[in-house]
C-alpha cells in the first residue's frame, strides 16, 4: 500500500517536474533581461547551472587526463589524486546545483502555478528533486569520461569502474546535501529537515538519478527517440544536446593517449561531432544557409571589391562600439561563459602540452578549434544581445556597418587574447611551425566572424534562435576544420604543408570576411 502510494507520488512528481524544468529553461532564455534590471538576477540560476555543467565537465576531463602527464610509475598516485579531485568536484558542484535550483524553484515563482492545485508535499519534493537533478546532467556524462581516462592511463578495468562509481556516489551525496540545505534556508513548508526526511530524500534522489540516467542514455543513443519526443520537450532537447556537444569534446581529448591510431580515432570523433551537430541543427542550419545564400539578401556572394578604404580611419569608431559592449559581456552569464570556455579548455591543453609528447599536438588543435568556435559564438551572442536590448534600432541607427565592425573587433580581441599566449609558448618551446599554425587561427577567426556578423546584421533578425542555432553550427565547422586539418597534417610530419594549408585557409576566410563586412549597408 505504502509502496504504491510512493510510486504514485513519484509519477505525479515526475509530471510536475518536467513541466517545471521546461518552464524554468524557457524563462531563463526569455528573461535574460533580468541582467538588466538586476531585480530577478537569481532566475539566472539555470544559466548559471548550464555554465557550471560545462565547467564541471571540463574540469573532470582535465582530471581524467592528469595521470597522462606523469611517468608510468607514478600513475597510480596520479589516478588517486584525480579520483579524489573528481569526487570533491562533483560533491561541491552538485551541492551548488541542487541548492540553488531547489531554493530558487521554491522562492521565485515556479511553484506559484501549482498553488491552486491539489499537490501533496511528497509529490512536490519528488518534483523538486527531479527538477534540480535535471540541471546536473553533466554528471551523467562525467562518470564515463573519468572512467575512460582511468582506463586509458591505467589500463585497468576495475579502477575504471571504481572511478565511475565514486563519481556517481559523490554526485548523490552532493545533491542530497544541497537539497537539505536549500530546504532549511528556503524555509518553505515543502520540506521538513528531519533525519527521516533526509533518508527519504536520499533514496528518492537515487531513484531519480538512475531513472534520469536511463532516460538520457536512451535519448542520447537514439536520435529517433529524440525526434519523437521533440514536441514534448523542445526546450529540454536543446539543453541535453548542448551538453552532449560539449561532452564529446573532452571524451575525444581523453582518447588521445599518444599514438597515431588514437589520433585517427580522435579526428574521427571530431568529424562525428561536426556531423552530429549538423544533424541536430539541420533545419536551422539549412534554413540559415538558404537565407544566407539568397540573392535577395545579397550577403556572401559579393564580387571582391578593391580594398582601398583606409583601415585606420575606421578602427576607432568600431573600437568604441566594441568597448560599449564589454560592459554587457560581463553582465550576461552566457556571454561570460563563452569567454571563459577557452580558459577552461586551456587547463587540459596545458596539462597535456606539459607532457611535451608530440602526439599531444592534437589536444592543442582542439583547444585552438574551441577558441575559434567560441569567438564565433561570441560574435553571434553579441548580435543577439543587440537585438534583444533594442540597440540595433536605437543608438546604432544609421550605422550598421560601424556596429558590425565593432562586433568584429570585440570577437577578434577574444581570439587574440586566447591564441597569442599559446603561440608564445610554442615559440619558447622552439616549435615554430606549430606557432605559425596557431597564429593563423586569428585571421581565420576574424574571417569567419566577419561573415557571420555581416550575415546577421544584414539579413536576419539578430534575435532569431534559428540564426543562432544554424549560424553557430554552420560557421563553427569552418574554423574547426581549419585548425584541426592543419594540425593533423603537421603532426603527421608534413610541417610545411600544415603551415601552408593553415594560412591559405585563414587568408581565404579573412578576405571573404572583409568583403562581407564591407558590404553591410548603412540604413538608408
Binding residues for other proteins, rule: CB under 8 A, are: 12, 15-16, 19-20, 22-23, 25-27, 30, 109, 112-120, 235
By C-beta, is 156 or 463 nearer to other proteins?
Answer: 463
Three-state SS at 43: helix
In this complex, which beta carbon is closest to other proteins, that of residue 22 or of residue 407?
22
**Distances in Å between the alpha carbon of 29 and those of 26, 133, 148, 288?**
5, 19, 34, 21
Least Å distance, CB 8 to other proteins, is 10
Pick from 499, 400, 393: nearest CA to 456 = 400
Our CB check for other proteins shows the closer of 110 and 246 to be: 110
Complex with other proteins: residue 116 or 306, whichever CB lies closer: 116
Q: Minimal distance in Å, beta carbon 21 to other proteins?
A: 10
Angle at the Cα of 416 (from 292 to 424), degrees rounded to 5? 140
Write down the least CB distance from residue 30 to other proteins, Å. Answer: 7
Alpha-carbon distance of 381 to 369, in angstroms, equals 18
* Nearest CB to other proteins, comparing residues 23 and 463: 23
**Which residues lie below 8 Å from residue 395, measured CB to CB, with a gap of 6+?**
none
**Residue whose cell numbers read 536576419:** 460
CA angle 65, 66, 72 (to 5 degrees): 100
Alpha-carbon span 345 to 349, nearest angstrom: 6
Residue 345, classed as helix, strand or coil, is helix
| Smallest separation, CB 333 to other proteins (Å) | 20
* Smallest separation, CB 112 to other proteins (Å): 4
Cβ burial of 258 (10 Å; 0-12, 13-18, 19+) is middle
Which of 74/121 has CB closer to other proteins?
121
For every residue of 217-271, which 3-state class applies, written as one string?
Answer: HHHHHCHHHHHHCCCCCHHHHHHHHHHHHHHHHHHHHHHCCCCHHHHHHHHHHHH
Shortest Å, Cβ 20 to other proteins: 8
Smallest distance from the beta carbon of 26 to other proteins, in angstroms? 3
Task: Specify the residue, 17 or 438, whose C-beta has the smaller distance to other proteins.
Answer: 17
The full length of the chain comes to 524
Q: Which burial class, exposed, middle or buried, applies to 273 when counting CB atoms under 10 A from its CB (0-12, 13-18, 19+)?
A: buried
If the CB atoms of residues 15 and 399 are measured against other proteins, the closer one turns out to be 15
CB 283 to other proteins: min, Å: 18
Closest CA to 91 of 2, 192, 173, 203: 173
| Minimal distance, residue 106 CB to other proteins, in Å | 15
Measured from the CB atom, the residue of 113 and 523 that comes closer to other proteins is: 113
Amino acid at each position: 500500500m505504502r509502496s504504491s502510494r510512493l510510486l504514485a507520488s513519484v509519477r505525479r512528481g515526475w509530471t510536475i517536474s518536467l513541466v517545471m524544468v521546461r518552464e524554468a529553461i524557457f524563462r531563463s532564455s526569455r528573461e535574460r533581461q533580468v541582467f538588466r534590471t538586476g531585480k530577478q538576477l537569481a532566475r539566472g540560476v539555470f544559466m548559471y547551472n548550464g555554465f557550471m555543467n560545462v565547467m564541471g565537465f571540463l574540469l573532470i576531463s582535465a582530471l581524467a587526463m592528469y595521470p597522462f602527464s606523469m611517468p608510468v610509475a607514478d600513475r597510480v598516485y596520479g589516478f588517486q589524486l584525480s579520483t579524489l579531485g573528481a569526487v570533491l568536484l562533483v560533491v561541491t558542484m552538485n551541492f551548488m546545483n541542487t541548492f540553488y535550483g531547489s531554493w530558487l524553484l521554491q522562492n521565485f515563482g515556479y511553484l506559484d502555478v501549482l498553488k491552486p492545485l491539489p499537490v501533496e508535499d511528497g509529490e512536490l519534493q519528488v518534483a523538486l528533486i527531479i527538477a534540480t537533478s535535471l540541471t546536473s546532467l553533466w554528471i551523467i556524462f562525467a562518470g564515463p569520461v573519468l572512467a575512460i581516462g582511468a582506463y586509458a592511463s591505467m589500463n585497468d578495468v576495475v579502477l575504471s569502474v571504481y572511478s565511475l562509481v565514486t563519481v556517481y556516489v559523490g554526485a548523490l551525496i552532493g545533491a542530497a546535501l544541497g537539497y537539505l540545505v536549500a530546504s532549511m534556508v528556503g524555509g518553505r513548508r515543502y520540506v521538513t529537515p528531519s533525519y527521516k526526511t533526509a533518508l527519504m530524500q536520499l533514496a528518492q534522489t537515487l531513484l531519480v538519478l538512475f531513472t534520469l540516467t536511463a532516460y538520457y542514455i536512451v535519448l542520447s543513443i537514439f536520435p529517433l527517440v529524440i525526434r519523437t519526443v521533440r514536441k514534448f520537450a523542445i526546450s529540454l532537447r536543446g539543453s541535453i544536446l548542448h551538453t552532449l556537444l560539449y561532452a564529446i569534446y573532452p571524451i575525444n581529448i581523453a582518447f588521445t593517449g599518444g599514438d597515431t591510431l588514437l589520433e585517427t580515432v580522435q579526428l574521427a570523433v571530431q568529424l562525428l561531432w561536426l556531423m552530429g551537430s549538423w544533424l541536430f541543427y539541420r533545419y536551422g542550419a539549412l534554413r540559415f544557409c538558404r537565407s544566407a545564400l539568397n540573392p535577395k539578401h545579397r550577403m556572401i556572394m559579393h564580387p571582391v571589391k578593391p580594398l582601398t578604404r583606409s583601415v585606420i580611419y575606421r578602427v576607432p569608431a568600431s573600437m568604441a562600439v566594441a568597448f560599449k559592449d564589454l560592459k554587457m559581456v560581463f553582465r550576461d552569464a552566457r556571454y561570460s561563459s563563452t569567454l571563459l570556455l577557452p580558459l577552461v579548455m586551456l587547463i587540459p591543453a596545458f596539462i597535456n602540452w606539459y607532457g611535451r609528447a608530440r602526439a599531444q599536438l592534437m589536444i592543442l588543435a582542439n583547444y585552438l578549434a574551441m577558441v575559434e568556435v567560441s569567438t564565433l559564438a561570441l560574435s553571434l551572442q553579441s548580435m543577439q544581445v543587440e537585438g534583444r536590448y533594442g540597440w540595433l534600432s536605437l543608438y546604432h541607427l544609421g550605422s550598421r556597418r560601424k556596429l558590425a565592425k565593432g562586433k568584429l573587433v570585440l570577437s577578434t580581441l577574444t581570439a587574440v587574447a586566447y591564441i597569442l599566449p599559446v603561440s608564445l609558448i610554442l615559440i619558447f618551446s622552439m616549435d615554430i611551425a606549430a606557432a605559425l599554425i596557431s597564429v593563423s587561427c586569428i585571421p581565420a577567426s576574424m574571417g569567419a566572424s566577419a561573415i557571420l556578423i555581416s550575415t546577421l546584421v544584414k539579413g536576419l533578425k539578430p534575435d532569431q534562435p534559428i540564426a543562432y542555432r544554424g549560424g553557430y553550427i554552420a560557421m563553427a565547422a569552418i574554423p574547426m576544420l581549419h585548425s584541426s586539418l592543419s594540425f593533423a597534417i603537421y603532426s603527421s610530419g608534413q610541417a610545411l604543408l600544415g603551415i601552408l594549408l593553415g594560412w591559405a585557409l585563414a587568408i581565404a576566410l579573412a578576405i571573404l570576411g572583409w568583403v562581407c563586412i564591407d558590404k553591410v549597408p548603412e540604413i538608408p
